[in-house]
Amino acid sequence: MSATKSLSLVRTIVERDGKGVLELKVSEVPLPQEADLKDDEVLIAVEAAPINPSDLGPLLAPSHAAIGRFDGAVTDASAEGRRVTSLPLPDSTFRALRGTKAMGRANRVGNEGAGRVVGAGRGSVAQSLKGKLVAAVGMGGSYRQHAVAKASQCLEHLEGTSAEEAASSFVNPLTALSMVRTMRAEGHTALVHTAAASQLGQMLVRICLADGIPLVNVVRRPEQVALLKALGAELVVDRSATSYESDLIHALEASGATMAFDATGGGTLAFDIIKAMETVATRKGASMSGYGSTTFKKLYIYGGLNAAEPVILRPQAGMGGFSWSVAGFLWDPSQVTHEEKQRVAREIKTTFATSYSRRLSLEQMLDLPTMKAY
């Protein structure tokens, strides 16, 4: 490969034989040059980038693979001998996209990654990062060998941290920290978190233990209870247990939680949580209206692990009248504080440590059995 070229995973929607196909391939792209960087930009030699749940939609949608269906998917080799994976689109989706600018447009994906800064713009902040190991977002795709990012969207790591350790510095750590920041800003004192055995969930357990915040963890299996208990979690509720409903009420009573963050985004879990919060409020003698307690209950949906089902709420079936709110939640990079970035850098091997199931090259990401696994 030429010294002026770099490799990048590229996704493009194309038409083949009258059908829509999402094409994923590793392509040579021009290597950004330091002389072309803006004052506040850096050039990063990317060494590691995670595949988070939040990456799967941008990577696989709108193909059937985005919902776990790989019927008709094929892998071939390009003229350069590199792997090309083609994922069929639903016919209705293709008809809607046909003739639009989405067809044939190459996109790069990957929310975050880490590597050494090998080039910098003339600004003082950018220059201060030259040669440093940084994690970054806003790179226009992290599944590539080289990427350009604004210096303000980088998180400098301490010596002794590896790129693999630093790769997951933004999406999970800063989402967890922003949950705590939101809880405090909105006047709540404790949290409920669903799908709590996830990487983010484990980070939240450690944060809440360190910061003295009561946390109710909701999981699906007994082994996930054991995992979180081993981390020090005190309140873990297993949805598969016959005592699930009473366990949830007990945990909410013990914690006083009136704010929840739900990663499932479907089914009745949001209803279960708000209803249990209302039960606890009435037991504790909260002031009442004609519809239920006046205790305000807030639930944020920030994921779609159960997105195949609609979110089911029953306002007249024990949720406490209308003294509750359900909203969407995403961490906002513009709200991240310097102190939060410093904490992530300091605690990347402990509080914010991430484990990975396996290591993949860019081309290995396009292997169909591997794609089905992640």
Please work out, in degrees rounded to the nearest 5, the angle formed at the alpha carbon of residue 149 by the alpha carbons of 334 and 24. Answer: 105
Return left, alpha or beta for 290; rule: phi > 0 is left, psi -120 to 50 is alpha, else beta: alpha
Among the listed residues 257, 340, 265, the one whose alpha carbon sits nearest the alpha carbon of residue 301? 265
The 3 state secondary structure assigned to 181-226 is: HHHHHCCCCCEEEECCCCHHHHHHHHHHHHHCCCEEEEECCHHHHH
**Closest to 205 in 3D by CA, of 273, 276, 135, 261:** 261
What are the C-alpha distances in Å from 319 to residues 254, 279, 323? Answer: 19, 8, 8
The rounded distance, in Å, linking the Cα atoms of 180 and 342 is: 16
Query: Can you give the pLDDT of all 374 residues of the chain as single tens digits?
Result: 567 899 999 999 999 999 999 999 999 999 999 999 999 999 999 999 999 988 999 999 999 998 888 999 999 988 888 899 999 999 999 999 999 999 999 999 999 999 999 999 999 999 999 999 999 998 999 999 999 999 999 999 999 999 999 999 999 999 999 999 999 999 999 999 999 999 999 999 999 999 999 999 999 999 999 999 999 999 999 999 999 999 999 999 999 999 999 999 999 999 999 999 999 999 998 888 877 888 999 999 999 888 879 999 988 777 777 899 999 999 888 889 999 999 999 999 999 999 999 999 999 999 999 998 88
Q: Are strands 112-120 and 41-48 parallel, antiparallel or unpaired?
A: antiparallel
Enter the pTM of the model.
0.89
247, 225 Cβ separation under 8 angstroms: no
Judge contact between 86 and 74, C-beta under 8 A: yes
